[in-house]
Homo-oligomer: A and B are copies of this chain.
Amino acid sequence: MEVEDGERMKSYRELSRDELLELQGALNKEYADAKAKGMSLNMARGKPGFSQLDLAMPMLDVVNSTSDMRTVLGNDTRNYGDLDGIGECRRLMADMMGVKKDNVVVCGNSSLNIMYDTVSRSMTKGVNGSTPWCKLDKVKFLCPVPGYDRHFAITEFFGIEMINIPLLADGPDMDLVEKYVNEDASVKGIWCVPKYSNPTGISYSDEVVKRFANLRPAAEDFRIYWDNAYCIHHLYDDEQDEILNILEECEKAGNPDMVYIFASTSKISFPGSGVSAVASSQANVDFIEAQMTIQTIGHDKINQLRHSRFFKNIDGLKEHMKLHADLLRPKFEAVLDTLEAELGGLGIGEWTKPKGGYFVSFDAMEGCAKAIVARCKEAGVVLTGAGATFPYKKDPKDSNIRIAPSFPTPEEMKEATNLFVLCVKLVSVEKLLEEM
């Protein structure tokens, strides 16, 4: 059957019942053929691909048995000490995060772990002297949606009530954020991925960042959890998002302690063997370190030395990320081109075209996401579970699907996306027939 109408694709919504039935027959046949191929592809998680990891292999040579293991200041990285990280690595992470070195604490291998510890500490010890959250009847977090499942998992784990906030093209719906934060003292935090957001890839506008900095929280222990996971993770040289410096904006607005910034090199060097850091005001850093000194004698300073010597400085980091971009761009383009070619104008899905980060976010017709993911899985392509991008894994519209193009090759990504668009069409047709 031909669904083109002159130059324009005909929207599925314009099709008659008979046309839909005919289309369904053709799609079912195509799906059966696809299934018979026995594909096995995974685009569920934001895992770097092999070729990206290969780029960091020389890092494993820069610190070896003949190396001087001392920091610039002469401290032996092999022994205890330097709780807040070695100086050169604090400098590197500070430059990456766009903050002053004194505001940075370099931690272990995972920024997620710092976020977990930050929430956990707030539960047992409060925030810079406030009542521990475990002593309160109700603690709430705002969750821009769609968002990062592992953020939501932390707040769910600690029994914190999560409130959905729509994530718009320029950031969270700030009218709603202001209303909740400024009026409800049980709202203690908001999860943010301000740049190349997970999963939609949007970046917060200057106005949104300024409105964040100018919040007047009802709760003294309200904090913005600013997970700048993709701060230098651009896909293009010429078109890059930049966001305002939230720490500076908070200072200007008289809210110096209102934000924690998190980042890591997990998607720069090696996931699991990178270096993470938190940046915040001096008062917050002091409070964090008072806990850290109880929790550990220090993080892995040899790995910090390895990172500092390999990347040298922020320019080295940026050069390295250009090589990543060269590898990731074809994968993103394989997805985006296929989506456009196959679904453009059909009226059965919308998607984002990010300029960085790790994801493409796809919104199917309401009530279709779970079925699409299930169909893909049945034919050998694993996607992030539908609903995962929402608190409690509940997407109220059953619409959002996160696509992670980084791990497969561009060819595999093309193949996987072909199956994906087929499943979108198939499930959409079923849905439309159902509704007739």
A residues whose Cβ falls under 8 Å from a Cβ of B: 45, 47-48, 50, 53, 56-61, 63-65, 67, 69, 76-81, 108-110, 112-113, 116-117, 120, 123-125, 132, 134-135, 150, 153-154, 157-158, 270-273, 291, 294-303
Contact = CB atoms under 8 A, between A and B. Distances in A.
A76 B50 CA distance: 9
A308 to B, nearest CB: 14
A134 to B, nearest CB: 4
Contact of A67 (B60, B81, B123, B271): B60
B65 A58 contact: yes
Contacts of A59: 65
Contact of A79 (B67, B76, B271): B271
Nearest to A158: B124
A78 B273 contact: yes
A80 B116 contact: no
A294 B154 contact: yes
Contacts of A78: 53, 56, 270-273
B303 A273 contact: yes
Contacts of A116: 294-296
B65 A64 contact: no
A277 B118 CA distance: 23
Contact of A134 (B45, B124, B270, B301): B124
Contact of A80 (B60, B80, B271, B299): B271
A143 to B, nearest CB: 15
Contact of A47 (B79, B124, B135, B270): B79
In the A-B complex, list the 4 residue pairs whose CB atoms are closest, starting with the nearest. Answer: A134-B134, A273-B302, A57-B65, A116-B295
A88 to B, nearest CB: 16
Given A157-B291, A299-B109, A124 B120 contact: yes
A272 B71 CA distance: 15
A38 to B, nearest CB: 21
Which of A64, A132, A296 has the most CB atoms of chain B within a 10 A radius of its CB?
A296
A48 B295 contact: no
Nearest to A305: B273
A154 B48 CA distance: 37
A272 B294 contact: no
A313 B294 CA distance: 32
